[in-house]
Amino acid sequence: MADVVLKDLEKVFDKNVPAVRNVNLEIKDQEFVVLVGPSGCGKSTTLRMVAGLEEVTSGEIHIDGRLVNDVPPKDRDIAMVFQNYALYPHMTVYENMAFGLKLRKYPKSEIEERVQEAGHILGISHLLSRKPKALSGGERQRVAVGRAIVRKPKVFLFDEPLSNLDAKLRVQMRTEISKLHNKLDATMIYVTHDQVEAMTMGDRIAVMKDGRIQQVADPIHLYENPANRFVAGFIGSPGMNFLEGRIVSDEDTLVFDEGHVRISLPDQMTEAMSPYKDKEVVCGIRPEDIVSINSGKSWENPRDIMARVEVIEPMGSETFLYLTTGTHTFIAKVDAHVEPTLGEEMPLVVNVDKVHFFAKDTEEAII
Ligand code: ATP
Of 9, 10, 12, 13, best ligand 1 pocket probe by most atoms within 8 Å of the beta carbon: 13
Of 21, 41, 56, best ligand 1 pocket probe by most atoms within 8 Å of the beta carbon: 41
Which residues are CB-contacts of 45 (< 8 A; sequence separation ≥ 6)? 11, 19, 20, 54
Q: What is the pLDDT along the chain (367 residues), one digit of tens a residue?
A: 699 999 999 999 977 779 999 999 999 999 999 999 999 999 999 999 999 999 999 999 999 999 999 999 989 999 999 888 889 999 999 999 999 999 999 999 999 999 999 998 888 999 999 999 999 988 998 999 999 999 989 999 999 999 888 888 888 889 989 999 998 888 999 999 999 999 999 999 999 999 999 999 999 999 999 999 999 999 999 999 999 999 999 888 999 999 888 999 999 999 999 999 999 999 999 999 998 776 555 445 556 788 999 999 999 999 999 999 888 899 999 888 888 899 998 888 899 999 999 999 999 999 8
* Residue 342, helix vs strand vs coil: coil
Give residue 223 CA to ligand 1 midpoint distance, Å: 26
The partner residues of 40 in beta bridges, in order of sequence, read none
Amino acid 31 reads E
Atom of ligand 1 nearest to the CA of 17: 18
Which residues are CB-contacts of 176 (< 8 A; sequence separation ≥ 6)? 122, 142
| CB 19 less than 6 A from any atom of ligand 1 | yes
CB atoms within 10 A of CB 302: 9
Give residue 45 CA to ligand 1 midpoint distance, Å: 6
* Alpha-carbon distances, residue 177 vs 81, 144, 157, 337 (angstroms): 11, 12, 12, 36
